[in-house]
Chain A
Amino acid sequence: MTANLRTGIALAVALLLVATLPRWAGDQYQLHLAALICVYWILIAGLNLVVGYTGQLSIGHVGLLAIGAYAFAILAGKMGWHPAAALIAAGALGGLCGLALGLPSLRLPGFYFAMATMAFALIVGEIVLAQVGLTGGGVGLPGPVFPAPFDTPHGFYYLVAALAVLTTWLSWNVARRLWGIGLMSIRDNPVAAQAVGVPLFRAKLTVFVFSGITAGIAGATFSSLQSYITPDTFVFELSLFFFVCIIIGGRGSIVGPFLGTVVLTALPELVAPLAKLGNFFYGLLLLVVVLAVPEGIGRMVEVVIERVRPRVVSNEPIEPDLPRLARAIGAPS
């Protein structure tokens, strides 16, 4: 129960921080940055189930982000849909494209799956560039604004923060239940996963479609936040950025990748010298984390404690409790 209490307190504090952020954010730019972190996190929270839990190395999610962003800009901008309807449509389209990408590629072993998702991202970029009539080609499209009360920076922040909390809640529910363990069994030991009945392909496809939906929704809000989108907005490096956020955060954790997203988004912007370093900063951070704390920054405290004060693993003998075992087996179901 104490663990539950601690989780509860941490959750309450986190929610309070998210809700009051506009009050203590220094200026509009910091608020913009907070909104950007939320938008990225909507995508990464879904992608985390694919990469961090199921161990499928997708580096193509910028393609799904672009699809959501363009769907929203076209539907809500050019075609005059209500932004709420366009947002839902963007999510649905992201999910469909996730299905279309996942169906052929999720049967491939790790490295080839990564290549397939990369190819997908590059193809989406080319299509966006070529379909001038629909997407504006290289010139791009304006990102539609959400209606009041979400048309101010404050209002928009609360919108994306709410969506980010929602996707976090959904992925947390999956992660902490049997489904989360099942996903990690696909990552760590597919042979054992099979033995206990986890449907490998269907489970992978399910979380991949989920990550497509969150990427589509993230894309829609992203186009609104950027106020103008062009193919250059969706460079392939962005895909690697999402991926790196999860790896730096640590696999099989939600807090870690969230911290990774915050740090990697905010640090280069807030600390001017780091911005000049650009990709060098990401590269260096990735190297340091992978070498020093491969468990990820989410588990850094845990790892440091364990190194300073290694847990004594006592080897008590295994003494079966046969009556209890007989009861647990019970009358065969």
Chain B
Amino acid sequence: MSSTVSLPVGPAFAPPVAASTQQAAATLEANDIGKHFGGIHALEGVSLQLRAGEVHGLIGPNGSGKTTLLNLLSGYYQPNSGVIRLDGEDLSTATVQHRSRLGIARTFQKPRLLPTLPVLDNAVLGAWPHARAGFLATAFGLPWVGREDRALRARAVELLHGVGLGHVLRRRANLLSHAEQRFLEIARGLAMRPRFILLDEPAGGLTGHEIANLGDVIRTLRDGGIGVLLVEHHTDFVFRVCDRVTTLNVGRVIKHGAPDEVRNDAEVIRVYLGA
């Protein structure tokens, strides 16, 4: 469990369901993070602020630590130094599950789905943090459990239609195309009602048309007040949809700012974008 650190500014106890007034201030931040695996320093002194209602790009060459940072934010890794905070609350040692209940969702570089289950079941799994039914209530088939289940499924159906998978609700996940799997992972993440969603190379393997659709989806999430972290190699795409961009190189932030600033930065061009 996480320990709550009282800060001079900001509420020490953010309610799990954020009121609309706090929505504006909501941030998921990595502060001066260091992470090493054995002797390899994957990240050193990295800071990043992900705000609600904003798309934040994270780019950099292979091995620069992008996915490591994403794993630290979502809780799969714990930092060796530095702090992960959500609305000022220290989450550095919180479990992945705890973070999911606080509203942090993510997708994976290689989609991780339940291969033999239908699309709808895969998506509704994301509603787990919001299901109140425990094992006993479920086993004894209490009427409210059935009602809750149907409501969660109905919402998952809406999300699936929303991302464009309405035509494959009953198809087994292992029969989906690569792009469909990526959109399904996003729908599953959205079923968690996240305040922040971390997308790990969502455009990988997608066609131009599909990437355009992905961009539309991401912008819709942003307008809905969700903070989106976009780890991506398609730099054109990143500069098109992001409000801010952070560039990593060998575990350090080399440039951070608006897309145009980053795109024209000499160092970023030298190590990553190329002339």
Contacts and interface: CB of A to CB of B under 8 A. Distances in A.
Interface of A: 169-171, 173-174, 177-179, 181-182, 184-185, 188-189, 191-192, 194-199, 203, 206-207, 210, 252, 313, 315-322, 324-333
8 contacts: A174-B139, A178-B127, A181-B114, A316-B167, A316-B168, A319-B213, A329-B224, A330-B224
A325 B167 CA distance: 15
Interface stretch (B61-69, B154-162, B244-252): B154-162
B96 interface: yes
The B contact surface, by secondary structure, is helix
A178 B156 CA distance: 12
B133 A320 contact: no
B129 to A, nearest CB: 4
A210 B139 contact: yes
Given A169-B141, A333-B193, A321 B225 contact: no
- Looking at chain A's contact residues, the main secondary structure is helix
A195 to B, nearest CB: 6
B149 A177 contact: yes
Contact of B100 (A171, A173, A195, A319): A195
B135 interface: yes
A168 B74 CA distance: 38
B18 A332 contact: yes
B128 interface: yes
Interface of B: 17-18, 20, 23, 52, 74, 76, 95-97, 100-101, 105-106, 108, 112-117, 121, 124-131, 133, 135, 138-141, 145-146, 149, 152, 155, 158-159, 161-168, 171, 175, 177, 179-180, 183, 188, 190-193, 195, 209-210, 213, 216-217, 220-221, 223-226
Nearest to B182: A318
Nearest to B74: A195
Between A181, A203, A318, A324, the greatest number of chain B beta carbons within 10 A of the residue's beta carbon is seen for: A318
Contacts, number: 171
Contacts of A169: 141
Contacts of A320: 162-164, 183, 213, 216-217, 220
B247 to A, nearest CB: 26
B213 A192 contact: no
Contacts of A206: 135
B74 to A, nearest CB: 7
Contacts of B125: 178, 181-182, 185, 192, 196, 198
A181 B124 contact: yes
B162 A179 contact: no
Contacts of B126: 196
